[in-house]
Each structure stands twice: as C-alpha cells, then as structure tokens.
Structure 1
Amino acid sequence: MYKYLLFDLDDTILDFKTNELVSLRKLFKNHKIDNINEVIKYYLEVNHDLWNQYELGQLKIEEVVSKRFEIVLRKFDYAVDGYVFDQEYRQYLSQGGQLMDHAFEVIETLSKHYDLYVVTNGVSETQRNRLNLCKLTPYFKAIFTSKDIGYPKPHKEFFDYVSQNIDGFNPKEALVIGDSLNNDIKGANDYGIDSCWMANNRINDSAIKSTYTINGLVELLDLLAH
C-alpha cells in the first residue's frame, strides 16, 4: 500500500498548456509583436529544445529562461532583453490558475489518506504562486522544485534529495504521478519507485513503461482504491 504520492505539476495537476498560451499572447500583445501565432509556434519549439538540454544537464535553468525569448524574437527581427521578457512572462504565468479536470477534488480527497508532495522541474516562484492561486498548497506536505534542488528530474540526485527530506521515506511505499515519460516515469523507475503516467489520451510508443497509466486524475481515485 502506498503512503507517499509524489505529483508532477504541469499538465498533471495544473493545466500548463492553456496557461502558457494565454500568457504568451498577453506578453507578445503587450510588446506589439506581429504574427503572434507564428511566433508562439516557434517559441514552443525552441522552449522544448532548451528544456530538454536542461534536463540532460547541458544547460542551467537560468540559461533556459534568459535565452528563449532572445532566440525566438531574434528570428523575427526583434532585439529584446531575454531576462526582462521572461520576468514579465512569468508574472503572467503566476496569474494562471487553470487546473486539469477534477484536480482540486482529487487532491483534496487523496490528502485525507496519503502524504502528498510536489516534484516539479518548473521555476520555484512561479510554481508556488500558481499553487497558491489554486488554493492547493495546504494539501501538500512539501514542494520540491529542480531549481531549489539543483538537479532536474529524471536525475538520481533529484530523487535523492526528495527521499532525504521526507521523514521515513521508503521508495516501495511511494508512487510518482506525472505526464512526462522521460522525466517523471523514467526518474521514478530508475529510483525503484512505482510510477503512474498521466497519458492525457496519448499513446506510449517508447521503451519507458509505467506501473500504471491514467488519462485523467479522477482515474487515480479508482486505481488507488484497489
């Protein structure tokens, strides 16, 4: 039986994709950037690539967030201060309280029976602000972010830190729930923790396999009841 539930945030509990698009549109509109749809499409490609480099240990998180807007907007002949743009962008992100379907009621219910923790590769301040906005913070015993730890998921050092900072932690009594096969599921599997992939109606055609698969958080209630 599980005692500890370790939740990823983005696109597991918080609807990051919706929040991201809303925030980018606000940012680019505020700076009178033309062809916003085209710029956003390119941003998503660049941002994905930079985060992959971060998760592989090739970039620091500070480099990701300061470079991405400079790289993207340079292509469209805009010269901007990437750090300043990112600060404004993260302000918009912090104001986004969009949740995945049934997230609040599922977290509230599970908190009565399990110790809940957040394990996220996101920027600490932004993630904490978004959780506060959604009024979910009180349901979690602790929030572990890669920026605070110094290593992202799926690195062993991330999970070492988590295990060392949860009293009495036993990997065999824990379950990681997340939407990323590479970060959440592989990280959990490598550390000897059971994993639950939040598939969001995607097909897993990779070599990384989860202990369980769900397409929505409400399914987690049934899974844990058996």
Structure 2
Amino acid sequence: MKYDVFLFDLDDTLFDFGETEKRAFAYTFESNGFLNGLKDYRASYKTISKVLWDDLEQGRITLTELKTERFKRLFMQHGLEMDAEVFGQTYLKNLGKEVHLIGGVTEMLSSLTGSKLAILTNGFKDVQLARIGGSVLKNSFEAIITSEEAGYQKPQAEIFEYTFNKLQLTNKSRVLMIGDSLSSDIQGGNNFGIDTCWFNPQQEINSTTAIPTYEIQNWSEFNFIGESGWTRIGEKSL
C-alpha cells in the first residue's frame, strides 16, 4: 500500500454536516420558542456562517469569536432579541448530539486495518469529540486533532506540523490527507507537502489554486489494493 497514515477531515467527509446542522439549528430555535426557526433563518445563517468560516481559514477571526459572532450577525439581521453567546452554546451542545454518517464510511475505514488513522478538523473540540464518541467510529482513530487544540487551522501548515509531531510521523510521502474542502483540506495538504484526496460527491468544478492528488465521488472508489490501485488526477481513475 502506498500510504501508511490517513488524515481525515470530519464534516462533509465522514459525517453529513448538512443534516447535523439542520437538526441542531431547528432544535435550538425551537427551545427558544421559534418553531419555524429552520425555515425562517437557516438560509441567512448559512450565508453568514460561510463568510465567517472563510475568515477563520484566513486567520481573520478566531474559533471562539466565530462561535458567537455568527449568531450576533443573524439576530441583528432579523431583529431578534436574544443572547447570541448563550444561543451559540446551546447550538453547539445540540450539534454534539447529532451523528449522521455518510454512506460507505464504515466499510471504507474497515478496509484500512493496520494503517494509522486520525481526524484533522477545524471544528469545535467538544462537539467533534461528542459526535465521534457517540458513533460507531469511536474506536477507529489514533488521534482526533482539532484546530482548537492545535492553535492553528487548516489550511495553515502549522496544524499539519502539529499533527505530525503528535503522531510521531516523519515521512510525508506515506501520508494522505482526505477531505471535502479544497480551501482547507486540499490547500492545507498542498501547503505542507503531502498528498491529498478530494472527496467530491457533488462533482463540483475545481476553480481554485488547490491541487488534489486524487479525486473521488463516493467511498466505494476509495480502494486500497496496493500502489497499482491508486491513479492520480489526469489518469483514468482512482
């Protein structure tokens, strides 16, 4: 096998974050007396959240600031009189209760017996630990590394350096980063000089400067039959 170590992103790579977010968002608004919160505010929230997560990747905001700022902006936009900090804390607790695996994940991970597996995520530490701990994946990873813990976030090379030190890795050629985000997972791998696999189920067009080594649309394409089983982008298939 070409790789010994596999670093996985979590949201929208192994877990369906869209479903997780939808349910947690609805429950949090419902607990505050807004039964139509999902319908009335989610579209605005997603727009605000995307801007702030992009800011996080670029180092313009911290994860702690993001936790409250997204709801401050949402409530201001819609004229809602609520405490954004308290609401944000409740929302994170609800996120941690939601476990929705993407199809094929358990089978894919079971094929990696003997390899070193780790999570590398920009998400909130307590939320990610709760979700993994409440899933069938709870014993699958040697380490769960968050940007909160590392003090850096993908795509910064420093979070990969932190990961290598924690896992006692030295050979970059034997490590593969897998994730759905071109701007954080793939660009991060590029920045650090390791191979990457872009999980792209929506078959989006790559119009960025990030260059994945491989691209797959589903987990059944992610095979491990030795070096001959891996095909780089530009060749026929993975």
Do they superpose with TM above 0.5?
Answer: yes
**Shift in Å at residue 164 of structure 1?**
1.2
Tell me the percent identity.
Answer: 31
Query: Which stretch of structure 1 is more off in the superposition, 128-137 or 33-42?
Result: 33-42
Is the contact between residue 26 and residue 37 of structure 2 (CA under 8 Å) also seen in structure 1?
no
**Shift in Å at residue 204 of structure 1?**
1.7
Rounded to whole Å, the distance in 1 between the matches of 2:194 and 2:70 is: 33
Rounded to whole Å, the distance in 2 between the matches of 1:223 and 1:209 is: 24
> 1:142 — aligned with what?
143
Instruction: Give the letter for the 2:107 counterpart.
Output: E
> 1:114 — aligned with what?
115
- Cα pair distance change 1:210/1:107, threshold 3 Å: same
Is the contact between residue 2 and residue 173 of structure 1 (CA under 8 Å) also seen in structure 2?
yes
Instruction: Give the letter for the 2:121 counterpart.
Output: T
SS in 2 for 1:128: helix
**Shift in Å at residue 192 of structure 1?**
1.0
Cα RMSD between the aligned structures?
A: 1.5
> 1:70 — aligned with what?
72
> 1:19 — aligned with what?
20
Aligned length: 225
Rounded to whole Å, the distance in 2 between the matches of 1:62 and 1:48 is: 16
Is the contact between residue 39 and residue 73 of structure 1 (CA under 8 Å) also seen in structure 2?
no
Instruction: Give the letter for the 1:187 counterpart.
Output: G
SS in 2 for 1:182: helix
TM-score between both structures, scaled by the size of structure 1: 0.94
Alignment of 1:34-49 (within 5 A): 34=36, 36-49=38-51
Runs of 4+ in 1 over 6 A off after TM superposition: none
SS in 2 for 1:138: coil
> 1:104 — aligned with what?
106
More helix by share: 1
| The one of 179, 202, 213 aligned to 1:211 | 213
Rounded to whole Å, the distance in 2 between the matches of 1:19 and 1:123 is: 14
Rounded to whole Å, the distance in 1 between the matches of 2:37 and 2:100 is: 26
- Cα pair distance change 1:119/1:22, threshold 3 Å: same
Q: Does 1:164 align with 2:159?
A: no
> 1:183 — aligned with what?
184
TM-score between both structures, scaled by the size of structure 2: 0.90
Instruction: Give the letter for the 1:59 counterpart.
Output: I
